Amino acid sequence: MSKECEFCGKKPQVGNKVSHSNIKTKRRFSPNLQNVRHQYPDGTVRTIRVCTRCIRTGLVTKPVERQD
């Protein structure tokens, strides 16, 4: 399963971990991905992995739960 947002394509970035003594080692900055149920315009519902920024901006439309 890839660590990539299905809407904006955000992926892990690479940077340096810097210690108190200023020694630099490589590290990864992973995006905050969540599994969310998304309803497409044609009505199909699917679980996708999206970042929290896309959820907040309203790109993800959550399906309406039916009351039986």
pLDDT tens profile 13-56: 999 999 999 999 999 999 999 999 999 999 999 999 999 999 99
- Under the banding of pLDDT at 50, 70 and 90, the label for residue 68 is low
pLDDT at residue 2 in the model: 83
- Under the banding of pLDDT at 50, 70 and 90, the label for residue 66 is confident
For 48-58, b/e burial (b = at least 16 CB within 10 A) is bbbbeebbeee
pTM of the full predicted structure?
0.79
- Under the banding of pLDDT at 50, 70 and 90, the label for residue 61 is very high
Residue 44: count of CB within 10 angstroms of its CB: 9
